[in-house]
Structure 1
């Protein structure tokens, strides 16, 4: 149940002062300590909520409801805000106290229109027959790689033009991490003359209307 963590005032008979207790789920000290140890002792920033959720998911393999309550408490945010953010993204796995944690390896098969046209449904069926206690297979929304359909993601590793063999190979070799392509850094771009026109506009050397 989603509940706000704002304070609830309770008056007890015989006491003049009210006692303040948090509404909804109580924070478990053990889970709070785990989250605090993972995220550090620096002040937690609201704009980094998604990054914190990623760190918790990567560390524990899912987002336990107790960890979400602890995170909300540490960030002084309503539980509803943390829960809504976590459930908005398909790659976060929300686990309640009554549910088992997912297997250590998750294979996500893109079910976008393009991937469906290139055999994602058949791939999903073939992979489902190979799932076990160590691997689960789930559908996932568009991964933005339509030119390489069908696409699957093994852990965080995208497998382009995926088939059963390439996915099983990634699983067997524990190739679960993203492949970051080479890219031009901001410093390299500036060193090669990048943003010179923008700087000229800021200095007043060029008029923005000249560039339109």
Structure 2
């Protein structure tokens, strides 16, 4: 690393204020680079606006209305990004800046989190927002071996313009490859017809079975054998 030495001197000539110049002498290169500082003892002027994108009032109102009385905590950032994505099906640059303002975070920090996850569609200024419905085809090894790449290509060829088809990382359905998600509706053994049919019927959320409540299950005799076996005396005898 070159050695640096700092030299201060008063400029002579027509400058009667004796303005101080700071020079960096790069010993290894034997040359001087003048750097002109600010006024001695002066303070840097504060910015009229915060760094980054300026707040758009209409976008700020959108975020305030969306969050309502929810706490403005930084640990809720991902949850609030999901709220924006679910409502508008993408995250615009204006909404991203408004969320950063509400959570008192830097816009860069919010942008880094939003762009890290595949299911957040961040739309920059001037870009066209994606369609409301997105079909994500799993590109994991298991799904690739089961024909996921052909499935994705066929979907792209047959899907209407209001449906977007993209690749996505593993969906945890390796035993039913190839897998795909229509919106948030994850399905295994996916075919082109099944995916397009789900999108056409707007079945973009998972069909969760109506599981019985625990209290009702216990009242109906659930875990009866388990309750009998866990008697203290039985456990002592077993030990």
TM normalised by structure 2 equals 0.69
Per the TM alignment, residue 45 of structure 1 is displaced from its structure 2 partner at its CA by 2.0
1:37 aligns with 2:65: yes
Query: What's 1:119 paired with?
Result: 147
What SS class does the counterpart of residue 127 from structure 1 fall into? helix
Query: What's 1:179 paired with?
Result: 207
The structure 1 residue matched to 2:110, chosen from 69, 78, 82, is: 82
Give CA deviations for 1:90-142 in whole Å, capped at 9, x if unaligned: 11101011101101110000000000000001101110102332101000011
Provide the alpha-carbon RMSD of the alignment.
2.8
Query: Conserved in 1, the CA contact under 8 Å of 2:147 and 2:178?
Result: yes
Query: Conserved in 1, the CA contact under 8 Å of 2:90 and 2:130?
Result: yes
Query: What's 2:20 paired with?
Result: none
Query: Conserved in 2, the CA contact under 8 Å of 1:10 and 1:19?
Result: no
1:51 aligns with 2:79: yes
Note the residue ranges of structure 2 that are not aligned, 5 or more in a row.
1-42, 224-239
1:95 aligns with 2:123: yes
Q: How many residues align?
A: 184
Q: Distance in 1 between matches of 2:169 and 2:89?
A: 20
Could you list the structure 1 runs, at least 4 aligned residues long, displaced by more than 6 angstroms after superposition.
184-193
Q: Distance in 2 between matches of 1:185 and 1:29?
A: 45
TM normalised by structure 1 equals 0.77
Residue 62 to residue 20, structure 1, CA distance change in 2 (3 Å): same
Q: Distance in 1 between matches of 2:47 and 2:120?
A: 36
The structure 1 residue matched to 2:52, chosen from 24, 33, 43, is: 24
Q: Which has the higher contact order (CA 8 A, sep 6+)?
A: 1
Q: Distance in 2 between matches of 1:57 and 1:180?
A: 21
Residue 64 to residue 133, structure 1, CA distance change in 2 (3 Å): same
The structure 1 residue matched to 2:90, chosen from 21, 46, 62, is: 62
Per the TM alignment, residue 74 of structure 1 is displaced from its structure 2 partner at its CA by 0.3
Q: Distance in 2 between matches of 1:29 and 1:182?
A: 43
Per the TM alignment, residue 24 of structure 1 is displaced from its structure 2 partner at its CA by 1.5
Q: Distance in 2 between matches of 1:46 and 1:179?
A: 32
Give CA deviations for 1:147-206 in whole Å, capped at 9, x if unaligned: 11100100110121001111121112111112335668787899978xxxxxxxxxxxxx
Query: Conserved in 2, the CA contact under 8 Å of 1:149 and 1:161?
Result: yes
What SS class does the counterpart of residue 139 from structure 1 fall into? strand
Note the residue ranges of structure 1 that are not aligned, 5 or more in a row.
1-8, 12-17, 194-212
